[in-house]
Structure 1
């Protein structure tokens, strides 16, 4: 049975919206009515273009891996996961503000499970930056691939080795059709040349905006990497997502979207483990590794053609509780290391966040 502090259903809240709720793997997005967006911009003093549209993002404790949702024997979500991810990402967004990087979508976090955000038109790109050769990058390299992300990698690299320069390996967010060399599947690899030649298909307004996107990826990565380094940690790889939103100055601007620098979107190692040649995952990757060891048919988890079979397996098979327990501890520990303080346990998150959205924001129907 779930703890009352675990929130798994987040797309049925009685929030006043302009159109249907978007229910993602982990977050649900409530698109606010124009009149509520304009009212909150004035009442809350958000420094936005007056015609900006806002949304409420409610994170859950659901666990997605290999594009499937997983449950354990006792839990349908990982205790403390959502609040940890929200707090960590909000910390990095604040660091981006301090360093005057490009803007982001987060306006306010009135409850540990809730963000008030500016809406943006998402780019159809998952911008993945890699500093070390591991995971899918290592698997491709071990198969003999030497041109990855449009970059030629030399022979002789070892697993877990630090790369001389940050590697940008973009993939599609959703299905992009009609681009030579890009498969019609989600998460398909995209070369920088294909991005430049077909930038409009990915939602970019110009080739120069693609350069801005790459610069934002590099500066965001460097910000997180440098801060983690002070704590003896290594940012191994991470994912950024970007969108286009109205600018206060007029026109539009590139902004960071989704989450940044969390244990869900990043691999994080302790430096001392890496120096011993035995890096250990302190991210959701540890669950993927546990799952790979637990499932007898590993190919089912990795083969995109077996997605329906994998989804059915995840639906019908609960993983051991210790997988969720270990991951819960990882999220809590990582949040404490980054924030410098432990997170509080959230009791009855659904009731608490609705009270706040009603009393402070006037958004509950």
Structure 2
């Protein structure tokens, strides 16, 4: 099996802090952050025990492509991508919500709907929908941004009432979310895909709102193949999709959904390799580009040298 990186523990000159997310290791400087996309994989808000070779590279490079493609819609945090697994950019203060937007009844929303709920995050849904049906219009179903554990559904009204985001800022986040989803939908259609749902995160830098984190990757988004979609819906067949939903379904089949008391099942190496292959397939299908595997012989050293080199070039000493 190829080398994979589960975590990093660098100590860079003038580093002010470190944050370990579910997938990313974030090195914090005064006005800059260096983000390492590791090969960790999470599902149901739980980090699984084994890393997935090339997953970090896939996510980092897909995100870089879409952030560049949407920079005319909303400014984003990125200043450079000096390594296949590294992105460097502005140190923004994140909003404590994730802006989830859904064009179809799938995943978590479909499970909630099947359980009888007709309102998700304060957004009413009509009766008579089937799983994977297109919604009358895209809906925003925000979640809280948890530092640890599970993100929770939250309504716009709760966000405003609790003062998590001001009305003025939230209206900007809503507009950016719809505009980004429209652009993502158009780019997906060019590749024969349907952007089903996705999430965006935003933050502030010097008082201005920026798009942060990743966008339109298989970790943050769900895609269906456009070909066969209508036929599958007519007869009630599952949709062929590009996302990590197949990992969630495998975990469910093993009796795990991230609930208290459940044990994370051990993933056999053959399944780890299958996940890696699927992520590479996702990259090529979503971007229309051939995936070039980076050299993983000295993965940590390669990443560290890339960050140090960019520090010297960009001069983010503090």
Normalising by the residue count of structure 1, what TM-score does the alignment of the two structures yield?
0.79
- Is 2:19 the counterpart of 1:22? yes
Q: Deviations over 1:267-309 (max 9, x none)?
A: 111012422313123111111111111x1x34xx153xx1xx3
The answer to whether the 8 Å contact 2:36/2:87 transfers is: yes
1:327 to 247, 264, 275: 275
Alignment of 1:87-102 (within 5 A): 87-97=61-71, 100-102=72-74
In 1: Cα distance, 2:142 partner to 2:14 partner: 33
Matched, 1:171 2:143: yes
**Counterpart contact for 2:34–2:307, Cα < 8 Å:** no
Gapped runs of 5+ residues in structure 2?
233-237
Q: 2:32 aligns with which of 21, 42, 54?
A: 54
Match of 1:352 in 2: 302
Aligned pairs, number: 307
Residues 187-336 of structure 1 mapped to structure 2, 5 A cutoff: 187-198=151-162, 200=163, 202=164, 204=165, 206-246=166-206, 252-277=207-232, 278-293=238-253, 295=254, 297-298=255-256, 301-303=257-259, 306=260, 309-310=261-262, 313-314=263-264, 317-336=265-284
Asked if the contact 1:78–1:327 (Cα under 8 Å) also holds between the matched residues in 2, the reply is yes
Q: State the Cα distance separating 1:23 from its structure 2 match.
A: 1.2
2:170 and 2:64 map into 1 onto residues whose CA distance is 25
5+ residue gaps, structure 1: 35-52, 176-184, 247-251
> 1:50 is matched with which residue?
none
Q: Say which is worse superposed, 222-231 or 328-337, in terms of deviation.
A: 328-337
What is the rounded CA distance, in whole Å, between the counterparts of 1:265 and 1:359 in structure 2? 29
Look up the SS of the partner of 1:338 in the other structure. helix
Q: For residues 195-245 of structure 1, give each alpha carbon's deviation from its aligned partner in whole angstroms, at most 9, with x where no partner exists.
A: 2323x3x2x3x3121010011111111111111111110111111111111
Cα distance in 2 for residues equivalent to 1:77 and 1:320 = 12
Residues 174-202 of structure 1 show CA distances to partners (whole Å, capped at 9, x for unaligned) of 27xxxxxxxxx84222112222323x3x2
Whole-Å Cα distance in 2 between the matches of residues 322 and 263 of structure 1? 20
- Work out whether residues 221 and 243 of structure 2, in 8 Å CA contact, stay in contact via their aligned partners in 1: yes
CA–CA distance in 2 between the matches of 1:280 and 1:61? Answer: 24
SS of the aligned residue for 1:195 comes to helix
Q: Is the 8 A contact 1:17 1:30 kept in 2?
A: no
Alignment partner for residue 158 of structure 1, among 123, 130, 136?
A: 130
| In 1, Cα distance between equivalents of 2:195 and 2:77 | 23
How far did 1:353 drift?
A: 2.1
Deviation of 1:338 (Å): 3.2
